[in-house]
C-alpha cells in the first residue's frame, strides 16, 4: 500500500498549487488604467531566487516529517513484537495463546479504512497506534483460547462414533438376515419323496444321483434297430420318471425341498438312421351321390426310407398318407334351417329384368348360370343382378355349340374346347360386372361325367346339379311349374330358366310359389351360401375310410 505524506502547513508542495508562489502576470499593454508597471530586470531575478529558496526549504521540511514518521512506525513494530512474544510466553505457561489466532505472530492488526487511518499517515501511522488483538481475560485474569472448551468437541466426537457403530450394526443385521433367508429357502439338506419314500438329500442332488446311490434300481431300456429288433440290451435310457408330475428330461436336474420324484424303468431307444423322403402323387376318386358336385383337393403322401447307422437295416415308413383328389357328390344338409337355392339357366334374356323384380318383391336371392355370348347384349340386366346381390356363374360360352357338343353336351368336346367354354364364359361375366366370376359351374344339360371332370378341375371349384327340375323349359303351364317349386325340401336346389325362350310362365309361377315357401318358413340362398353348410373335406374323408374297410 503506498505511503501518504501529510501536507505541509501553509499549502501544497507544488509551487503551481501554492498561491504564495504564483506570480501575477504582467499586463500586455503598459500604461493602461489599473495596470502595474513592468518590473525591472533586477527585480525579476530577485523574485526567481526567492522562489527557489522557498522550494528547497519545503523539501527539507517534508523529508524531516517522513523520517520522524518512519521512526515512529519502527518503534511501534518493535513494541508489537515484544508484546506478542510476551503473550506467547504467558500462553505457554498458562494455556492456549491469548493472541487472536487469525493474526500471524507479531503482525499488527489489519487497519480499518477510516478517518484515523488517514490522519495517522496511512498504514505506518496506524500501526504505531494499534496494538495486538487478544482474547478477553477470564475470571482468573487468564486469556481464554477459542479451543479451551474441549468438552464440546469430545461430545461431537462421541456422537460421530456412535453413528458409525449403528451403521455397522445395521449392515450386519441386513447381511445376517439375507444369509438366514437364503439358508431357509436353500437348506444344505432337505427331504424329498422318492417313489413314495421320504429321503433326506443334500443340496444339488439329482434323480441320477438317487439312482447311482441305489435308492431305487430301475431297469435300463434297450437300443433298437430301425425295424424294432434289439441291438443292445440296456442300451436305451437308464431310467425315466417325473418330478412333481413333470417328465424328467434331464436326469441331472437338481431337486428342491419337498419335491415328489417318481422313477421307473428306462425306455427303448431306436438307433440313428439316414433318411430318404419319397413323395407320392395323389390319385383321383369320385365319391358320393347328390346334386352338389365339388372338388376336394388332394395332398401328396410322404414316405421315409430309413437306413440304420448301426444295423444297416432298411425300412420304409409312411409319414404323411397320400390324400386323393376327390370329386365329391352330396346333398346339402342345413340342419334345422329351412333353405332352398333358386337357380336360373340360359340367361340373360329380355324377360330376366322382370324376373328380378319378382325376386326382389319376395326378398329372394338366386344364382344365375349365364351364357357368355349373351351377356354383352344385356348390360343393364347384368348390372341389376349385381346390385340385387345375386350370384352370377357361367353355364358355358355358347351352350356347347362348338365342335361335337351339339349345343347340349360338353362331354363330346375336346379338352381344349371344354376349357375354352368355361374360360370365355367366366371372362364375359368379369367384363360385364367388373368383378371376378364365381368358380361355380353348371354344365349344359347337366352332362358332367368322365374325363371332363378332371379336365376342368383347375378352372372350377364345383359343378352344380339340381334336386327339383321344374321343366319350365317345356312351358308346361304356370300351375305345374309352381307346384314343382313348392315341393322343394330344405337343402334342395331348384332348376329353372330365365332365357332360351319365352319365360312368362316361370315368372308367374314364381309369383305364386315364393310367397308360399316364405309362409312355410323357407329362406332363399345362393349356391355359395348353400355350400357353406357342409364340410366337404370331412365328408370325403369319411367316404374314403368307408371304402377302405
Q: E strands within 289-427?
A: 292-296, 301-308, 314-320, 325-330, 339-347, 366-370, 391-394
Q: Catalytic pick from 98, 395, 497, 498?
A: 497
Q: Which residues contact 305 (CB under 8 A, 6 or more apart)?
A: 275, 276, 277, 278, 314, 315, 316
Q: How many residues does the chain have?
A: 549
- Ranges of beta strands (E only) in 68-110 are none
If one counts every other C-beta atom within 10 angstroms of the C-beta of residue 26, the result is 12
CA 278 to chain centre: 43
Read off φ and ψ for residue 437, nearest 5 degrees.
-75, 155
- Here the cell at position 316 is 420304409
Q: Are 394 and 456 in contact (CB under 8 A)?
A: no
Q: Are 400 and 448 in contact (CB under 8 A)?
A: no
29: annotated active-site residue: no
Q: Which of 124, 259, 345, 492 is catalytic?
A: 345
CB 176 within 8 Å of CB 228: no
Residues 6+ apart with CB under 8 A from 155: none
- For the beta carbon of residue 163, count every other beta carbon within 10 angstroms: 10
- Residue written as cell 431307444? 269
387, with CB counted inside 10 A (0-12, 13-18, 19+), is exposed
497 in catalytic set: yes
What positions carry a catalytic annotation? 345, 497
Amino acid at each position: 500500500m503506498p505511503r501518504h505524506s501529510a501536507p505541509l502547513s501553509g499549502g501544497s508542495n507544488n509551487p503551481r498549487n501554492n498561491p504564495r508562489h504564483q506570480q501575477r502576470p504582467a499586463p500586455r499593454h503598459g500604461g493602461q488604467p489599473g495596470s502595474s508597471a513592468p518590473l525591472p530586470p533586477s527585480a525579476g531575478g530577485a523574485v526567481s531566487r526567492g522562489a527557489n529558496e522557498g522550494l528547497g526549504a519545503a523539501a527539507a521540511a517534508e523529508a524531516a516529517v517522513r523520517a520522524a514518521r518512519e521512526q515512529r512506525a519502527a518503534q511501534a513494530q518493535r513494541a508489537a513484537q515484544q508484546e506478542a512474544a510476551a503473550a506467547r510466553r504467558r500462553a505457554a505457561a498458562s494455556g492456549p495463546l491469548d493472541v487472536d489466532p487469525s493474526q500471524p505472530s507479531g503482525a499488527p492488526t489489519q487497519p480499518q479504512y477510516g478517518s484515523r487511518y488517514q490522519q495517522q499517515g496511512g498504514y505506518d501511522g496506524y500501526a504505531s497506534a494499534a496494538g495486538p488483538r487478544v482474547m478477553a481475560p477470564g475470571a482468573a485474569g487468564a486469556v481464554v483460547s477459542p479451543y479451551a472448551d474441549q468438552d464440546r468437541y469430545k461430545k461431537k466426537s462421541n456422537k460421530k462414533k456412535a453413528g458409525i457403530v449403528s451403521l455397522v450394526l445395521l449392515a450386519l443385521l441386513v447381511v445376517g438376515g439375507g444369509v438366514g433367508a437364503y439358508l431357509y429357502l436353500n437348506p444344505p439338506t432337505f427331504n424329498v419323496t422318492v417313489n413314495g419314500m421320504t429321503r433326506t438329500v443334500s443340496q444339488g442332488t439329482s434323480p441320477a444321483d438317487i439312482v447311482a446311490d441305489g435308492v431305487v434300481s430301475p431297469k435300463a431300456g434297450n437300443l433298437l434297430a430301425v425295424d424294432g429288433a434289439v441291438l443292445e440290451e440296456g442300451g436305451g435310457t437308464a431310467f425315466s420318471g417325473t418330478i412333481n408330475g413333470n417328465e424328467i428330461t434331464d436326469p441331472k436336474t437338481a431337486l428342491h425341498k419337498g419335491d415328489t420324484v417318481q422313477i421307473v424303468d428306462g425306455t427303448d431307444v431306436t438307433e440313428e438312421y439316414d433318411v430318404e423322403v419319397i413323395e407320392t402323387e395323389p390319385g383321383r376318386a369320385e365319391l358320393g351321390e347328390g346334386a352338389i358336385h365339388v372338388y376336394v383337393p388332394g395332398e401328396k403322401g410322404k414316405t421315409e426310407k430309413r437306413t440304420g447307422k448301426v444295423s444297416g437295416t432298411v425300412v420304409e415308413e409312411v409319414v404323411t398318407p397320400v390324400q386323393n383328389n376327390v370329386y365329391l357328390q352330396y346333398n346339402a344338409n342345413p340342419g334345422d334351417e329351412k333353405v332352398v337355392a333358386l337357380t336360373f339357366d340360359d340367361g340373360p334374356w329380355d324377360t330376366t329384368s322382370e324376373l328380378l323384380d319378382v325376386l326382389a318383391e319376395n326378398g329372394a336371392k338366386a344364382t344365375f348360370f349365364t351364357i357368355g355370348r349373351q351377356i354383352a347384349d344385356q348390360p343393364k340386366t347384368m348390372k341389376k343382378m349385381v346390385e340385387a346381390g345375386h350370384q352370377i356363374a357361367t353355364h358355358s360360352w355358347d351352350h356347347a355349340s362348338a365342335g361335337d357338343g351339339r349345343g347340349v353336351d360338353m362331354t363330346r368336346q375336346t379338352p381344349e374346347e371344354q376349357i375354352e367354354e368355361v374360360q370365355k364364359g367366366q371372362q364375359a361375366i368379369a367384363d360385364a360386372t367388373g368383378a371376378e366370376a364365381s368358380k361355380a359351374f353348371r354344365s349344359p344339360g347337366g352332362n358332367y361325367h368322365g374325363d371332363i371332370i378332371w379336365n376342368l378341375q383347375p378352372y372350377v371349384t364345383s359343378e352344380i346339379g339340381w334336386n327339383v327340375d321344374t321343366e319350365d323349359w317345356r312351358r308346361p303351364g304356370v300351375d305345374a311349374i309352381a307346384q314343382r317349386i313348392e315341393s322343394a325340401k330344405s337343402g334342395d336346389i331348384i332348376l329353372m330358366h330365365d332365357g332360351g325362350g319365352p319365360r312368362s310362365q316361370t315368372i308367374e309361377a314364381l309369383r305364386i310359389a315364393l310367397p308360399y315357401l316364405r309362409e312355410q318358413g323357407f329362406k332363399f340362398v345362393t349356391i355359395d351360401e348353400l355350400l357353406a353348410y357342409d364340410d366337404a373335406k370331412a365328408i370325403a374323408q369319411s367316404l374314403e375310410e368307408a371304402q377302405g374297410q
